[in-house]
Amino acid sequence: MNHADLIAIDTHTHAEVSCWNPFDNYGEEYDRAADKYFGFSKRPTIEETIAHYREMKIGLVMFTVDSESQLGRRRIPNEEICEAAAKNSDMMVAFASIDPHKGMMGAREARRLIEEHGVKGFKFHPTVQGFLPYDRMAWPIYEVIAEYKLPAIFHSGHSGIGSGMRCGGGLRLQNSNPMLLEDVAIDFPDMQIVVAHPSWPWQDEALSLALHKPNVWIDLSGWSPKYFPAQLVQYANTLLKDRMLFGSDYPLITPERWMKDFEEAGFKDKVKPLILKENAKRLLGFV
């Protein structure tokens, strides 16, 4: 990544539309509920997302969420995102997502994606994937990630996916309490763990975990910064300034909206460059 030419690095963007596979409309009710929750309608292709970020001179980390076991919905191929990243390596990095229920087969896939496709990290969503982060079934995949000293992003807190559906779509918010990552942080100290989003209603748990475990980071995606809890801004300005990351959750929140609100959210001028780019450079191994 030619990070010197970029004004920021967005560590949390989603691939929403596959150009390799036909659209899988199974479970589409989750999309419609999310559209209503986020006030959202159009899902861009991977190429459209890259073009948007290139125009803004913002680097991006992109991934899908493999929830085939719980939702029964075909995932976007990790290889499709890797191919796009290879073609746009000056400003894009690919992370992979593997359903933890795939166990050893998932571990084999993780190794192949790292060695053959240049994957630089992984994404997990305990609520949508239907697992507890400390469940030993995920250990084979974690072991591969730790072996290569790569980062892993974990969704935390409330989920817009399933919100408003009957029974919340059967998805369990409790799986995404950030404190459930403590065993993972202890057993895999060489794996950098990114707690995604302001972790409402467990914001203090996320801050405590990051303060206590030096391999735990927090990305600030999924919310407009003007709604961030006061304690999140406080610790981003002080004790955790080196482990806070810019993330938008694109396309649900655009980088331009996030960055505009970020300027007015109470972050110190000396901290803003760390959050926008410098911390991500360290996490991704560019420095």
Other beta carbons less than 10 A from residue 22's beta carbon? 7
Q: What is the mean pLDDT of residues 199-228?
A: 98
Would the pLDDT of 40 be above 80? no
Q: What is the mean pLDDT of residues 1-22?
A: 94
Q: What is the mean pLDDT of residues 140-157?
A: 98
pLDDT of residue 33: 85
Would the pLDDT of 247 be above 80? yes
pLDDT class for 145, splitting at 50, 70, 90? Answer: very high
pLDDT class for 8, splitting at 50, 70, 90? Answer: very high
Tokens of 62: 């992109």
CA distance 63 to 16: 9
CA distance 246 to 224: 11
pLDDT of residue 190: 94
CA distance 24 to 26: 6
DSSP letter string over 194-249? EEES--TT-HHHHHHHHHH-TTEEEE--SS-GGG--HHHHHHHTTTTTTSEE----
Backbone angles phi, psi at 105, to 5 degrees: -65, -35
DSSP letter string over 77-146? PHHHHHHHHHHTTTTEEE-B---GGGHHHHHHHHHHHHHHH----EEE-HHHHT--TT-GGGHHHHHHHH
pLDDT of residue 31: 84
pLDDT of residue 62: 98
User: Per CATH, is 3-283 categorized as 3.40.250.10?
Assistant: no
Q: Name the residue with tokens 């229920």.
A: 101
Would the pLDDT of 287 be above 90? no
Q: With contact defined as beta carbons under 8 Å apart, do 81 and 63 qualify? A: yes
Q: What is the mean pLDDT of residues 186-203?
A: 98
Q: What is the residue type of 125?
A: H
CA distance 132 to 117: 28
Q: What is the mean pLDDT of residues 9-31?
A: 89
The whole-chain average pLDDT of the chain stands at 96
Q: What is the pLDDT of residues 248-281, one digit of tens each?
A: 999 999 999 999 999 999 999 999 999 999 999 9
Q: What is the pLDDT of residues 46-81, one digit of tens each?
A: 999 999 999 999 999 999 999 999 999 999 999 999
Tokens of 100: 């933890």
pLDDT class for 22, splitting at 50, 70, 90? Answer: confident
pLDDT of residue 50: 98
User: What percent of the chain lies above the pLDDT cut of 70?
Assistant: 100
pLDDT class for 23, splitting at 50, 70, 90? Answer: confident
- Where b means 16+ CB within 10 Å and e means fewer, 168-202 reads ebebbbebbbbbbbbebbeebeebbbbbbbbbbeb
Other beta carbons less than 10 A from residue 154's beta carbon? 22
pLDDT of residue 34: 84
pLDDT class for 147, splitting at 50, 70, 90? Answer: very high
**Which residues contact residue 211 at a Cβ distance below 8 angstroms, ignoring those fewer than 6 apart?**
235, 239, 240
